[in-house]
Chain A
């Protein structure tokens, strides 16, 4: 008998809540009938039947949270049928991270917590939302603008609930007009307001890049210091999962290239919150690169509304003495995972989370390399003219005499992101490549 499986409702969904059953056991069901509602952290979606017959069993009661994708949730057909884990429902996308499962942080943020600071568990999504909301409460000139940020509650639910709190004057739904609304927001910034511009993904910022670079980043200089622009451009960046070449690109190097911009790319929720607050308060244009896959990950975040992480400061995520691994954003998962694997072989890696791409915290990197004499740089972006190229050049320039091996780089492959699951996995860097690079620079 056909069993109905918990469906994947987005490229990155791994689990969800079975909110409500709309059919009872014994009801006749036809293809297309809505039988249940599923809630993810992004949306509430309806589940439609594909098969015809009586609903013979409900396997997951309404209200159940954390139901994994592909779990059988109901059976259509004879009442005595045993649900078999067959795949009538199209097989959902496997989790695409080539890396092993998420490793929880092995070291707390070093600058982080004045002793005694109370912590709370928070997802990256909640952290970004909390940071924006706190800053909007604090400063009436801060507003959020973008596609679907208001009534829809955010394409990725970052701004969920903010329209209700701040109203449509400050949570502004835009038309699908990246070039136009980015320019408009920069103009509002020239006039002294503090816009937060959400790009539904940073891929769409390509439409707006002229205003980010030519209007936002350069005007202070061109005006001899008279006319700056306090603005945050934010949104998910980099590869999500199975969304192919036009929707899977890392812009860290693109924006990191530009004098006049600040660029941050946090990994943890604590950094996401603290850096977002710093970005909003910063009088300069800040490009804030988020990651869809990280949105749902939980971390410990200091409680309260005064948690700020300074832009331009790296974080030593794990201390070690044999090799320095430098990374940022989602690639920190690979760096930390590789460090675990290396530790199992007796190699102690020091892992640095850059957090800021521009300005780069070179002193932290250089100091570490002087200690370990070996350096591996890890990123998801394309390898040429990348953040890791820059790191390699800087380490060579400033720590040449301390290096016992050439700086190694692990990056995304030099190809547009493919769609096929296996090819996508090959295109992304993985922890084993980081381990291999670390061993290569250690000559082991």
Chain B
């Protein structure tokens, strides 16, 4: 018990301020991260544009600003590890390798969408890419994610489940029910708290006790945690690797609180009046995850401006193709209304 407490205390000690990354990326890794984050950024910008044009309906939650979290975590995982998240899920799907055309066509509600147009922005899945949604009820993905980890343990494989949720979901009771079960059963699940500071329009400081350290809530259940600079993809991957190693070694769950920021409103209909323009501007200028990587690439001469421009135009082409497909693909056939309600027994 003493050992465990000391362990947690050590983790606590780390979290006074976001842990800096000391693991340099190779040129290849920097370029990979750049490319992956840029795809999410450009994809989301396009989604915002299509929403404004009326091609995308309903709710649409953009991931712009938070790209380093999912890209860094994905770099720490291996093939077959499962991912599950909330409704702010486009970035997670792209990072998992799901087809941008399929994601965008789902946003526009077309038959070529990943859910045949029946799920929309918040509900997409891919067994092939081990992505388990895409869940619209705040916090629901947390026990579901622990269930994925339960299946790994039940089957005796060494896969890890990564369950993402936000600072808002961190106030849902089922999160703590899950922490308790994950701890007593030593489930290989990494809980990623994407702390973007605002639960829709409510600042964490207004809604959340001990808001400066959400991950510390796991210590009541004996779950180690770290608070990480989620704008730095290197820090994210490094922490992700520690968490993954912990889970794979059968040591049970792990919490990573990623300090991040969303540049856009909670959803497309949110004007984000609850924070100042200066606050957003400061984050963009000083902490942007993509600009950080870009600066390192150029300063370290890992690639030239021209080479980065070439990547940019490749990404733009992918996104343009996805958007065109999503606008031109037909809507689902009316007969789809009554399919996929039951699997034939």
Contact = CB atoms under 8 A, between A and B. Distances in A.
Interface of A: 143, 169, 174-175, 177, 179-193, 210-211, 214-215, 219-228, 259-260, 262, 278, 281-284, 311
Nearest to A174: B181
B343 A187 contact: no
A259 B345 contact: no
Contacts of A214: 136-137, 140
A226 B127 CA distance: 7
B148 A282 contact: no
Given A180-B177, A184-B150, A259-B341, A224 B115 contact: yes
Interface string B95-125: 0000000000000000001111111000111
A177 B123 contact: no
A210 B151 contact: no
B114 A183 contact: no
A180 B181 contact: yes
15 contacts: A179-B143, A179-B174, A182-B143, A187-B147, A193-B155, A219-B123, A221-B118, A222-B125, A222-B134, A223-B133, A224-B116, A225-B340, A227-B127, A228-B343, A262-B342
Nearest to A214: B137
A177 B118 contact: no
Contacts of B150: 184, 187-188, 191, 193
The 5 closest A-B pairs by CB, nearest first: A187-B147, A180-B177, A183-B143, A191-B151, A224-B116
Nearest to A175: B180
Given A143-B154, A191-B148, A225 B339 contact: yes
Nearest to B340: A225
A191 B345 contact: no
A222 B123 contact: yes
B151 A188 contact: yes
A227 B125 CA distance: 7
Given A143-B154, A180-B178, A223-B125, A189 B147 contact: yes
B300 interface: no
Interface string B133-172: 1111100101111111011101100000000000000000
B113 A188 contact: no
B154 A188 contact: yes
Interface of B: 82, 84, 113-119, 123-127, 132-137, 140, 142-148, 150-152, 154-155, 173-174, 177-178, 180-181, 184, 339-345
Given A175-B184, A185-B147, A190-B144, A226 B126 contact: yes
A222 B118 contact: yes
B144 A224 contact: no
Contacts of B184: 175
Given A180-B180, A188-B151, 7 more contacts: A180-B177, A184-B146, A193-B154, A193-B155, A211-B144, A214-B136, A221-B341
B133 A175 contact: no
Given A187-B132, A215-B140, A226 B115 contact: yes
Contact of A222 (B119, B152, B342): B119
A276 B41 CA distance: 49
A260 B145 contact: no
B173 to A, nearest CB: 7
A187 B341 contact: no
Contacts of B343: 220, 225, 228, 283-284
A223 B89 CA distance: 14
Nearest to B137: A214
A224 B118 CA distance: 6
A224 B340 CA distance: 6
Nearest to A359: B342
Given A224-B114, A226-B126, A184 B133 contact: no
Nearest to A176: B177
Contacts of A190: 132, 144, 147-148
A215 B82 CA distance: 17
Nearest to B131: A227
From B132, B133, B341, B345, residue with most partner A Cβ within 10 Å: B345
A278 B144 CA distance: 25
- Most-contacted residue by chain B among A182, A188, A262 (CB, 10 A): A188
A224 B345 contact: no
A393 B174 CA distance: 39
B140 A211 contact: yes
A177 B124 CA distance: 28
A177 B151 contact: no
Nearest to A227: B125
Given A220-B343, A284-B342, A183 B140 contact: yes
Given A175-B180, A183-B143, A281-B345, A223 B124 contact: yes
Contacts of A179: 143, 173-174, 177
A75 B127 CA distance: 69
B144 A311 contact: no
A183 B142 CA distance: 8
Contacts of B342: 220, 260, 262, 284
A260 B134 CA distance: 18
Contacts of A222: 115, 118-119, 123, 125, 133-134
Nearest to B337: A221
B341 A191 contact: no
Contact of A210 (B82, B137, B154): B137
Contacts of B341: 220-221, 259-260
